[in-house]
């Protein structure tokens, strides 16, 4: 690594400039930059090069943590992680003792712990008020929208824009584009709900554009999560509009299906890639994978095989083993819940469900606040994002993959809503005292 730096002066200067960046760059910029780097690592680095990808994730997260120690000094406190989060992390770390792959298990559990520490100690401290939290998340959404737009540029690409008829854009697979659209759409809906004029028109156009991209990606959970997230966001803010959004999306799908003529061929075009009727009965092969996962779960039903033990690690040959090249293989169960059952057993799955419920409950509580309208809006968008993530967790397994940009974004939301749920009023002012009650016979 040192030789590589010496051969690339620009990289060496970047490393030497890191201490300066810790002091000069605002922490919000560092957080958004970390999110962008994680998205790049997830998309650009090959999946087989897992150790280097994990190293990049760990490096940027450690750097962000160090920057928070410098830039957030004197900014108050963060948020204590909920008990289910602490219990789940403890189980993941302790599972190293019985894991079939103890070193990778410790690495993944440690990296997930780092993500949670950064979220609850730094992200929550930075977003201690509704306006700051909203501005930070909207800035992150704009940065991710820029990546989405950059991925649609047709020239200068090393890989095709469409894979098997599905739009993938910047991301390594089409499902990544779909879930990104689902996670960002509630924030565009929030922007549209609180602005007027040109700003509202732009926000509505962004929502429609994200829905179109999710549809073209062919990700059914991504598109469904987008509709669910936007509906939840509007329901918590303006209940009458959530139904209108759902109806609009249904009509849009029907019109898109009929755009090519009266007879709809579900095997052709964008509609065919979205419907994929031949895969519906087996959920794109997921039922077979889930059955395999349940069989492995039954081998160790209580505590599982160890955190991320469902990922197999092996060196292809002796030379690569001596060079330290390790690749990951094994079965992708395409479900965070099935993977959790395999890795941490029934205890881990119960704790994971408790984490999701705790996060949803806090976001809904913030959305229902009446003493702070800005925080309430933030809570509504956060609840919509969490609903989309929870839906997708049944069909994909990124939510507990430490260093995944989607997981980092969601964990940051969980920590921020935990912080805002403990704030009494927007400026820390106490609630007004109730009027005195007259008691007969007492002057």
Cα separation, 126 vs 20, in Å, equals: 20
At residue 402, the pLDDT reads 77
> Do β-strands 162-163 and 166-167 pair in parallel, antiparallel, or remain unpaired?
antiparallel
At residue 66, the pLDDT reads 86
At residue 94, the pLDDT reads 96
Q: Kindly list the domain boundaries of the chain, sorted by start residue.
A: 2-257+267-420
pTM over 0.85: no
> In the numeric block, which tokens belong to residue 126?
């930075």
A 10 A CB-CB count for 102 gives: 14
Q: Shortest CA distance to 341 belongs to which of 405, 410, 283, 400?
A: 400
Could you give the 3-state DSSP secondary structure of residue 166? strand
> pLDDT per residue over 185-198, tens digit each?
999 998 988 888 99
Q: How many CA atoms lie within 13 A of 246 on its CB side?
A: 14
Could you tell me the sign of the dihedral formed by the alpha carbons of 94, 95, 99, 103, in that order? negative
Cα separation, 125 vs 112, in Å, equals: 19
Determine the average pLDDT of the residues in 86-97.
95
Cα separation, 335 vs 12, in Å, equals: 41
Determine the average pLDDT of the residues in 359-371.
91
> In the numeric block, which tokens belong to residue 155?
């020239």
> pLDDT per residue over 376-411, tens digit each?
999 999 999 999 999 999 988 888 887 788 899 999
At residue 307, the pLDDT reads 92
Spatial CB neighbours of 93, under 8 Å, sequence gap ≥ 6: 106, 109, 110, 113, 307
């Amino acid at each position: 690594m040192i030789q590589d730096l010496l051969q690339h002066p620009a990289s060496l200067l970047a490393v030497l400039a890191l201490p300066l960046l810790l002091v000069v760059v605002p922490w919000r910029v560092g957080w958004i930059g970390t999110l962008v780097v994680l998205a790049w690592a997830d998309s650009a680095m090959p999946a087989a090069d897992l150790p280097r990808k994990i190293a990049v994730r760990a490096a940027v997260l450690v750097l962000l943590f160090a920057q928070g120690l410098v830039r957030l000094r004197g900014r108050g406190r963060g948020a204590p992680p909920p008990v289910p989060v602490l219990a789940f992390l403890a189980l993941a770390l302790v599972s190293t003792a019985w894991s079939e792959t103890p070193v990778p298990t410790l690495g993944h559990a440690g990296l997930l712990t780092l993500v949670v520490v950064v979220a609850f100690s730094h992200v929550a401290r930075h977003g201690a008020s509704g306006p700051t939290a909203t501005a930070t998340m909207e800035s992150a959404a704009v940065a991710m929208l820029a990546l989405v737009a950059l991925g649609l540029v047709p020239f200068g690409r090393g890989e095709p824009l469409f894979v098997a008829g599905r739009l993938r854009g910047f991301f390594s697979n089409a499902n990544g584009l779909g879930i990104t659209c689902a996670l960002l759409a509630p924030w565009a809906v929030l922007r549209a709900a609180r602005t007027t004029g040109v700003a509202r028109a732009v926000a509505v156009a962004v929502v429609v554009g994200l829905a179109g991209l999710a549809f073209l990606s062919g990700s059914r959970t991504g598109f469904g999560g987008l509709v669910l997230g936007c509906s939840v966001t509007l329901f918590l803010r303006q209940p009458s509009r959530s139904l209108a959004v759902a109806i609009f999306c249904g009509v849009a799908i029907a019109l898109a299906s009929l755009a090519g003529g009266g007879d709809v061929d579900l095997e052709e075009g964008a509609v065919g890639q979205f419907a994929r009727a031949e895969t519906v009965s087996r959920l794109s092969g997921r039922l077979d994978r889930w059955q395999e996962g349940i069989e492995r779960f039954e081998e160790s039903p209580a505590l599982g095989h160890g955190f991320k033990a469902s990922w197999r690690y092996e060196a292809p040959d002796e030379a690569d083993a001596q060079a330290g090249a390790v690749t990951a293989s094994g079965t992708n169960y395409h479900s965070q819940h099935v993977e959790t059952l395999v890795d941490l057993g029934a205890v881990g799955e119960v704790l994971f469900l408790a984490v999701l419920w705790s996060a949803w409950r806090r976001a809904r509580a913030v959305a229902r606040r009446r003493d702070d309208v800005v925080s309430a809006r933030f809570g509504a968008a956060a609840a919509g994002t969490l609903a989309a993530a929870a839906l997708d967790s049944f069909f994909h397994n990124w939510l507990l993959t430490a260093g995944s940009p989607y997981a980092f974004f969601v964990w940051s939301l969980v920590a921020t809503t935990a912080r805002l749920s403990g704030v009494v009023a927007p400026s820390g002012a106490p609630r007004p005292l109730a009027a005195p009650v007259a008691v007969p016979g007492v002057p």
